[in-house]
Amino acid sequence: MTGQTPALRLEGIVKTFPGVRALDGVSFSVMPGEVHALMGENGAGKSTLMKVLGGIYQPDAGQILIEEAPTVMASPLEAKAKGVVFIHQELSLADELSVAENVYLGELPRKSFGRVDWDRLYADTERILDRLKVGFTPQTLVGDLSIANKQMVEIARALTVDAKAVIFDEPTASLTDAEKDVLFEVIADLKARNVGIIYISHRMEEIFRITDRVSVLRDGQHTGTAITADTNEEAVTQMMIGRKLDLSRNVAHHELGDVALEVRNLSCGHLYKDVSFKIRRGEVVGFYGLVGAGRTEIAETLFGLRDPSAGQILLDGQALRITSPTDAIERGISLVPEDRKGQGLVLGMNCRDNMTLPQVDDLKAGPFVAEGAEVAIFDQYRDRLDIRTPGWKQLVGNLSGGNQQKIVIGKWLSMHPNVLIVDEPTRGIDVGSKSEIHNLIRDLAAQGYAVIVISSEMPEVLHVADRIYALFQGRITREFTSEDVTEDSLVRAISGLADNGGAQVA
């Protein structure tokens, strides 16, 4: 490939956010007609890199070159105009419009008097859809399409311009095998037309099936590039996780109690299927999987936010139906949600009021709220969780992420739960507070709480959990204990790859 001009090249890209060096001198190139895989764990910097490339972020240092010409990407629109096209994982479509209108959104062909040239629009779209071999017409309403077909519409959009480089971000996340084959044909077709392709995915089998080279990012740094044919899954995994973990594995040093919560064959539509697990008092159980594997949806079901379509939930050995969050709270199930600011806290309210939110009804003195009792509860948990705030009057929105998370945890502890579910406990929290939250979770287990930790960060689950359930596409693929877990087998389990050793869960 030497001697050829790269379709796209990144040179020494640096991007820092307050407190984090998200990209630390990343260089990377794609040749015309090459499929180049970009891999890395969550938080390794892949999405930041793509946002720099797409003009959403401006790099602090380094440059982007298209066919060796330095370029500034000021906006997503400019990136597209320059031939760099994204196929996003999250769909960005207008459901009430037709396929053709979505494909040419913002660029509808024009006739006199500002009229849409429907004939040309449909003909042009038809030609693109033919290349994609899809089973719908340009006139179909996008809202009537399946997720996979919507993805095809996104891809069709990329084919409307003369693309030099196309970036696929986890394109197969919601596709069936047959649909994947079609997608790979499309990629092969683009490749034959000398388009450079960046392919982001966690799935090893796909990487080895369709890519020419693999580049790996870790902690914002480019750890290496290999020719796919000359490497293997082990070597790539090694590049991805390479660090020596300074986090010790945790094993419960205390006696475990009875089974607090058991779930048998729980299903919810196509979100997750046939999920079974149990958790004892005093135990921390980790749920590890990629975004969209069904982790959060399981938690939401346990908290009464979703109705399961099948299966049983047993609390202390008794089967029950949880119909609402109020119901869940009464039975001692608490959820610290994924989106702390959006779902966990009322940012414009003060610390005390946030802390006592679920129990104000019980803290009444006559018709009024018993403020004294509220303050007493706040003080108790401030001391117990070491929440640093000038006082209870402080607005929660002004606290640091770590202290905000402690308020949410304190809120539930004050309700005396049996089972505490923590979804992404340290998302957006700085490194120092992270370990504090981890220790807090361990302490809670030692005090006899049953804790479920949902996380997409491997070091985190390895560090805090006594047992880990690996999830892949809505199913629990494997169960690990802290003795038999290895990083490699964990990566395989959440990518849907087989592995020998470890207990296989049906």
CB 167 within 8 A of CB 86: yes
Least Å distance, CB 154 to another protein, is 10
Compare residues 115 and 249 and give the one whose CB is closer to another protein: 115
Cα distances (angstroms) measured from residue 264 to each of 97, 313, 317, 418, 494: 42, 6, 12, 19, 21
* Residues 329/418, Cβ–Cβ less than 8 Å: no
Nearest residue (CB) to another protein, 169 versus 479: 169
CB atoms within 10 A of CB 326: 11
Say which amino acid occupies 218.
Answer: R
Task: Closer to another protein by CB, 308 or 402: give it.
Answer: 308
User: Smallest distance from the beta carbon of 167 to another protein, in angstroms?
Assistant: 14
Instruction: Give whichever of 308 and 459 is closer to another protein, judged by the CB atom.
Output: 308
Decide: 158 and 87 in contact? Cβ < 8 Å. yes
- The string of DSSP letters for 223-237 reads EEEEEGGG--HHHHH
CB of 194 to another protein, least distance (A): 26
94 versus 320: smaller Cβ distance to another protein: 94
State which residue, 20 or 91, has the beta carbon closest to another protein: 91
Nearest to another protein of 327, 457 (CB atom): 327
- CB nearer another protein, residue 116 or residue 252: 116
Residues within the interface to another protein (CB under 8 A): 76-77, 92-97, 101, 105-108, 110, 113-116, 118, 143-144, 268-271, 300, 304-307, 309, 324
Q: How far is the CB of 335 from another protein (least distance, A)?
A: 13
Task: Output 211 or 334, the one with its CB closest to another protein.
Answer: 334
Q: Computed over its alpha carbons, how large is the radius of gyration of the chain?
A: 25
Distance CA(290)–CA(269), nearest Å, equals 19
d(CA 259, CA 277): 10
As to burial, measured by CB atoms within 10 angstroms (0-12 exposed, 13-18 middle, 19+ buried), residue 148 is middle
The Cα 444–Cα 450 span in angstroms is 8
Least Å from the CB of residue 143 to another protein: 7
SS3 at position 348? coil
φ/ψ of 177, rounded to 5, equals -60, -45
CB of 161 to another protein, least distance (A): 12
Among residues 145 and 190, whose Cβ is nearest to another protein?
A: 145
Alpha carbon distance 279, 501 (integer Å)? 22
Least separation in angstroms between CB 102 and another protein: 8
Shortest approach of another protein to residue 294 CB, angstroms? Answer: 12
Quick one: tokens of 310?
């099948």
Q: Considering beta carbons, is residue 32 or 337 the nearer one to another protein?
A: 337
- Residue 264 CB, shortest distance to another protein, in Å, is 19
Inter-residue long-range contacts of 374-383, CB under 8 Å, 24+ positions, other chains counted: 377/352, 377/414, 378/351, 378/352, 380/414, 381/355, 381/410, 381/413, 381/414, 382/351, 382/410
Min dist CB 354 to another protein, Å, is: 20
- Cα gap 388→407, rounded to integer Å: 10
Helix (H) or strand (E) holding 326: helix 325-330
Cβ distance to another protein smaller for residue 27 or 265: 265
CA distances for 76 relative to 86, 107, 167, 315, angstroms: 9, 15, 13, 50
Q: Min. distance of Cβ 105 from another protein in angstroms?
A: 4
Provide the minimum distance between the beta carbon of 83 and another protein in the complex, in angstroms, as a whole number: 15
Residue type for position 196 = G
